[in-house]
Amino acid sequence: MNHIDENIIRLMQLKGVGRQKVKQLLDMITVPQSLNLKEIVEIGQTFHIISKQIGQSDLDASINETKRLIDECDQLGIRYISYLADGFPACLNFSDNPVLLYYQGDLEVLNQPKRAAVIGSRSPSQMGSDFAFQAGKVLAENNFVVISGLAVGADFAGHTGCLAADGKTVAILPSGLAPVYPASNRGLAEKICDQGGCLISEYNHHEMIQPYKFIERDRLQSGTSQFVIVSNFAPGSGTIHTLDYANKYKRPIYSIPLIYEESRDGFNYLSQKGIGFKIVENTGLAQLIENY
């Protein structure tokens, strides 16, 4: 791991310092790679980004904790990369991008030219599950990397559809990579990596799962994709967050008439929020994918 990656992990261990503060701080330093942790923190304190109450003992603790994390990641087969490092996927350089990723598998798949998300309810109808599976399969057959969140339901179907067509898929998790969440999909996670895809997360394996992390994960699903295919969903569901981000990042949203009929309340809610979407027949969606 290079010097700046290590310092970003250290910064993230400090009280009150998260992704946005790290990015705000490092983006204002001309060559952050040339500075040590103490120098970066002192600049942050000068500009009131980092609390002045953080002292040397806090820096020592963050250095020790980072060493422990690095050693454990090595043992668990988890790698890490910062947004300032060579090899950070270009598709992750969007507004509100991650500053640090933990990953397993081949991160290079995110540099593939064609990427699309397949998302939807954790409890889809049989039609919704079949649609997500077929969407993942058709995308893979047309050399798309399929992006989803490893959740049960539509995510599971989208990933497995892609794998069934010998495609590569990326699972973005709302938790650390050891153990994989949810436990019921750990076998799927292994297949994703075995087949040349990857698992990614902004969170190390010591962090607790919290509701806001699911929303943070949703922004990455939309941000890394060129468009989003949605199966069943309802107003107030987590799927809404992903679609909201898709709208923010100007990623087209597609579905089919049968899903629209089953999830009319969800689509009406999108319209009320001013989130655009396109409902196309199955053949039209397949043609769109083939001609993309």
* CA angle in degrees (0–180, nearest 5) for 95-273-96: 10
Tens digit of each residue's pLDDT, the chain (292 residues): 468 999 999 999 999 999 999 999 999 999 999 999 999 999 999 999 999 999 999 999 999 999 999 999 999 999 999 999 989 999 999 889 999 999 999 999 999 999 999 999 999 999 999 999 999 999 999 999 999 999 999 999 999 999 999 999 999 999 999 999 999 999 999 999 999 999 999 999 999 899 999 999 999 999 999 999 999 999 989 999 999 999 999 999 999 999 999 999 999 999 999 999 999 999 999 999 999 9
Look at residue 281 in the predicted model and tell me its pLDDT. 96
Residues 116, 159: Cα–Cα separation, whole Å: 11
CB atoms within 10 A of CB 20: 11
What is the pairing mode between strands 253-255 and 278-279? Answer: parallel
Measured torsion, CA atoms of residues 225, 230, 231, 236, in degrees rounded to the nearest 10: 110
Burial of 236 (0-12, 13-18, 19+ CB in 10 A): exposed
- Phi, psi of 80, rounded to the nearest 5 degrees: -150, 150
Residues 208, 194: Cα–Cα separation, whole Å: 27
Burial of 152 (0-12, 13-18, 19+ CB in 10 A): middle
Residue 158 structure tokens: 């989208």
Indicate the DSSP class of residue 64.
Answer: H
Q: Select from 40, 38, 10 the least CA-distant residue to 24.
A: 40
Angle separating helix axes 186-194 and 154-164, nearest 10 degrees: 30
Residues 67, 97: Cα–Cα separation, whole Å: 25
Residue with tokens 């087969």: 77
CB atoms within 10 A of CB 96: 14
pTM score, two decimals? 0.95
Q: Select from 227, 106, 234, 124 the least CA-distant residue to 170.
A: 106
Look at residue 2 in the predicted model and tell me its pLDDT. 65
Residues 54, 74: Cα–Cα separation, whole Å: 29
Look at residue 3 in the predicted model and tell me its pLDDT. 85
